[in-house]
Amino acid sequence: MSLLSIRNLCYDDAPPWYVLGKKDIFYLGPVNFDVNEGETVSIIGTNNSGKSLLGKLITGAVPKGAGEVLINGIPLNKSNRANSVRMVFSHSSQSLNPGISVGRMLEEPLLLNTKLPPSERFDKIRDTLRLVGLMPDHYYFYKHMLSDGQQQRVALARALILDPKVVVADEPFAALDPSVRSQTVNLLLKLQAELGLAFIFISHNLGIVRHISDRTLVMHNGEVVENAPTQTLFADPQHEASKHLIHAHFAMLKV
């Protein structure tokens, strides 16, 4: 049995009755796929294809319409979600709270989801900071004292601090410059090897997708149109949408 199974996951934002004249209802799904332990699954697709929404549905950031997300065969709900599936948002000025220190930011998930005493929380936070390549001293830092790359590492630390099994990352490298981006990619690969994490990785950057992922899903208009091992997909895309994306990617490489 696979680690994470997604069964008939659906979403529609059909309006409540009192909202009149809302056009362009977005439907997603039904989506089915499996993720194994230590595997990286990438989701690619054009803008507005529902990639980020799928990520949010899996983590529960957006309530799902129908279907199930199973972890080791157990359906995810409010109480077991935070300990098993975590989300990293794309880097932006809003991804970290400017008013509280990094230590307090990382303490929050521990406070809410574990019963650790304060001293153990402190140790856990310092260990996690080291894990993502920051210093224990960063415990006392505030957002404005950190570089973009360090901020993204803090966001990653926040996701990893509860020892999750699956991490869903929505464009985690989008706003980072190439050198910091490669550092962060390498960090992710290292962590995956160390912790046996499964990654669901949502990105526009097909170069990184090809580099890190085992399997790739192509989304188009709210549906998964192709689900294949990355090498197969890049060598021989089947669906029209995948062909467009992949040919555009290779065309750019040739220039």
Partner 1 sequence: MANKLYNDEQYPSPWGATWREFKQSHIALTGFIILNVFILLGILGPLMTPYEPYAQNFQSILLSPSWENNGTIAHVLGTDAVGRDMLSRILYGIQVTFGASVLLVLGAMVIGVTLGTLAGMNKGVRSSVLNHILDVLMAIPTLLIAIIIVAILGVGLSNAMLAIGLALIPRFVHATRDVVRTEMNKNYIATARLDGASHWHIFYFNILPNLIEHIIVQATLALSIAILDISALGFLNLGAQTLLPELGVMVREGLSTAYIAPWNVLFPGMCIFLLVLSVNIVGDSLRSAIRNRLTH
Enumerate binding residues for partner 1 (CB under 8 A): 59-61, 78-79, 81-82, 86-87, 89, 92, 94-101, 104-105, 108-109, 112-113, 126, 136-137, 140-142, 144-145, 158
Q: Rounded to an integer, what distance in angstroms lies between the CA atom of residue 238 and that of residue 165?
A: 31
CB closer to partner 1 out of 101 and 221: 101
Q: What is the Rg, in whole angstroms, of the alpha carbon atoms belonging to the chain?
A: 19
CB closer to partner 1 out of 114 and 227: 114
Nearest approach in angstroms of CB 94 to partner 1 is: 4
Which amino acid, 250? F
The DSSP string of 106-163 is HHHHHHHH----HHHHHHHHHHHHHHTT--GGGGG--GGGS-HHHHHHHHHHHHHTT-
Nearest approach in angstroms of CB 20 to partner 1 is: 14
Q: Is the dihedral of CA 33, 39, 45, 51 positive or negative?
A: positive
Q: Rounded to an integer, what distance in angstroms lies between the CA atom of residue 62 and that of residue 203?
A: 19
CB closer to partner 1 out of 123 and 236: 123
What residues does 34 pair with on adjacent strands? 5
Question: What angle in degrees, to the nearest 10, is found between the helix axes of 148-160 and 118-131?
Answer: 130
Nearest approach in angstroms of CB 115 to partner 1 is: 14
Nearest approach in angstroms of CB 139 to partner 1 is: 9
If you search the block for the tokens 């985690």, which residue do you land on? 172
CB closer to partner 1 out of 98 and 178: 98
Nearest approach in angstroms of CB 173 to partner 1 is: 16
CB closer to partner 1 out of 50 and 109: 109
CB closer to partner 1 out of 142 and 234: 142
For residue 196, give the DSSP letter.
Answer: -
Nearest approach in angstroms of CB 132 to partner 1 is: 16
